[in-house]
Structures are given as structure tokens and as C-alpha cells.
Amino acid sequence: MQKGFLSQYFEGIAIKRLSSVEVNKEVSHQHEFNGSKPLRILFGSERIAHEARFLWLAGENEGFSCEGNLTWYDARESHPIRTEYRLYFKSNDVMDQARLGDTLIVAKRSNGEIFMVLIPSGSTLESQILWLFGVDQVGFDFNFQPIEDGHDPQVDFAVRYILEEMGIEVADPDGSYLDNILEPYFDGGFPRTSVFSELARRTTKYVSAYEEPDQTLLKWIEQEEKLFKRLERHFVSKRIEEGFRGKGSTDVESFIQFSLSVHNRRKSRVGYALENHLEEIFKAHNLTYSRTQMTENKSKPDFLFPHITNYRDMTFPESKLTMLGVKSTCKDRWRQVLAEANRVHNKHLFTLEPGISENQTDEMQANKLQLVLPKGLHNTYKPLQQSWLMDLRSFIHLTNERQDNR
């Protein structure tokens, strides 16, 4: 196990695509997988009963998890020569989602916990998980993939993003350093997003928005994410210690409302933070732009170049106009950008989401939407996709050229 690497969180995985006999309830009710060699590497040769966490990683707001039990055993244990290992699980809400061709990952965590991860075939989450574990091809037989002695990437922005999609909290080695930065805020509430973004930029070392815009943006985002979660932990811990009591009993409604407020703050903050950091980089490159100004049908593109006045001037050449939508994660919401800024026929969309599926990026291309993301995330995409992707530096260069020639 290496701290700061994937092996800090996983020892190894066994991965396969589900066959028809494994998902067709009319054919089989056994809830078992044949104990092939990859599973024996994970579980050994002794009979064990193990608690497991089952994950259904689907689209936005569709995934969920549940707790369950696994039994690893030799069905021919009493036979003197033959062995027939099987992995048994009880029916549960996650495995009931299984369809032919879906990807199943049996993952052993470094703390001994077992994850059973079910992912729809062809989805963005499948692309992300396969990249995370360094898997190129998935067949209908289990394949074992080691971590520490195999594919063991450092926990950078992309790895952290995918681990958190799996519900895994990434360890923070800089806790005391971050506390020193955040101490002025401990006795108050969360500062405005613009204030927090400025704090993240001010406390990030060895970056240059002008010389290295892609790398700088990722470092700013990572720093703000660390600061935010550290401060959030402080306030949430304090609120839990205070308890949720009302008229002599536990106030369940107050707890639910508090939990929702934490979740909603996380979701809304990331998008604004990304726009704030992009704006600082555009300023460093002397780009002129308008942010969230109204165009047709009351839509408000995140960024319009060179300016909203140029967009509204029908004599201004459309070929000199550039629109950039900003979404920290695309999911299925990227289509919203297509309805913004009708005068711009070839639109750009900036995201931080790694490994979007080929189905999605093919559809983006068909709709004349160019995906832009930091260069450091391009390797999470497949080679054919990478040749089409645009990085932030290239987008700045394109926009500068159009402004210089207007």
C-alpha cells in the first residue's frame, strides 16, 4: 500500500461482463458466480462469509448503494480431489438492476472491505471506472487486476473524482496546514464562493495563470476542494455534537434538512467556483468577455466573447463570436448549452469530468459542441477522443485570435 496512490484504497479487483444466465431471473435464481481463478486470488481457498457494500453506479442522481453479504465457498469441499468454488450473494436492490453486458467489479479494499460494483454498459461511469483500474477490455469471464504491483496511479484530481463517485472519502494529508489557513473562518459561517475561490488561489503555490493555464486551473480547483471539505467537516462535526433535539425527542426533520443543506451547498458551490477560476485565467490573458449576460429566450451563457454588446450587434460577424458553457460535470446536462447563444453555431463547453463515454462525445460532435477540459484530464479519455478534445490553452489561443482579428 502506498499513501497517496490508488493502492491506499484498493488491493485488487476481479472484473467481468454479466452474461444472460447471470441476469435472467427466469433461467437462474442461484445468485452465484463461478469461483474462477481471479476470484480465488481475491478470496483465497478458505470458506468465508463477508459483509459487502453493493454499488449501482448509474447516471446523475440514479446510483445508490446497499449493504449485503457474500459467501465464498467450495461446493465440493468434501470431495478429496475436485474443487468447485462459488461466490454467493443474497438478492438485493443493486443486483436486481443487473442487465446483460453490464460490468461487475468485485473489489477488495485495502482495509479488507469488499465492494460489489455494478455499472451500466457503455456509460460514462463505466469509462471512468475502467480507466481508474487500468482495464482495457472486459469479457464475460472474470479477469484479475492487481493494484500495488500493477496499475497504481497517484491520487490526482481525476482519481479523487472517481473515488468520490464511488462514495470513498479521500484521505487528506494536509489537515493541519489547511486548518491554519481556515482558522479565521472557524467561528463564523461559510464565506461566499467568490471569497473562498480567492482564498484558494492565494494559498496555491507554484502556479502561473498566464504560462500554465491548464495546470493552474486544476491546482486552484483542488485547493478549493480541500479547503471546502476541511471547513465543512469542522461545521458538520460541530452541528452533530450539538445534536438534533426537539421537545424532548430527536428532531428527525431538522437532521434531514441539515443533511440536504450540506448536499446542496456542495453541488452549487463547485460550478460557481469553476467559473470564478476560469474568469481569473481569462483576465490574466487579457481576454474581453461577458459573464452570464442574457441572450435569446432569457438564456444566460456562462461566457460570451468578445462581449455581449458585440453579440447583440447584428452587423458584428458571427465568426468572431465565441460562447463557452461551464459545467463541472456534464452528465446528461450538456445538452442545455445547445439552446444558448443562437448566433454561435459551434459552441464550446468546459468541464472537469474525466472519461466521458464515447457515446456522449460522439453526440457532442454531431451537435457541433466542442468539449474543453484541462490537459491533465485528457488521458482519462480514449485515444480517438483525445485527438478531438481541446485544452484550456488552445481555447484561449482561439479566442485571442478572434479578438485580435475583429
Instruction: Give the up-direction half-sphere exposure of residue 338: CA atoms within 13 A in the CB hemisphere.
Output: 12
How many whole angstroms separate alpha carbon 280 and alpha carbon 291?
12
Question: Which residues, 6+ apart, have CB-to-CB distance to 272 below 8 Å?
Answer: 193, 194, 197
φ/ψ of 246, rounded to 5, equals: -150, 115
Identify the DSSP state of 121.
T
Cell of 315: 452587423
Q: How far is CA 162 from CA 6, 166, 198, 385, in A?
A: 11, 6, 26, 19
Q: How far is CA 395 from CA 98, 258, 352, 402, in A?
A: 41, 40, 15, 11
CA-closest candidate to residue 307, choices 324, 325, 288: 288
Look at residue 340 and give its three-state secondary structure: coil
Q: How far is CA 65 from CA 161, 166, 185, 265, in A?
A: 18, 9, 34, 22
Cα–chain center distance at 346: 26
210 has catalytic annotation: no
**Contact of 34 with 64, CB cutoff 8 Å:** no
**Contact of 209 with 279, CB cutoff 8 Å:** no
State the DSSP H helix or E strand holding residue 124, giving kind and residue range, or none if neither.
helix 124-133
CA-closest candidate to residue 376, choices 207, 192, 195: 207
Bond before 306 cis per omega within 30 degrees: yes
Identify the DSSP state of 390.
B
Got the DSSP string for 177-188?
A: HHHHHHGGGTTS
Choose the catalytic residue: 85, 161, 289, 311: 311
Residues marked as catalytic: 311
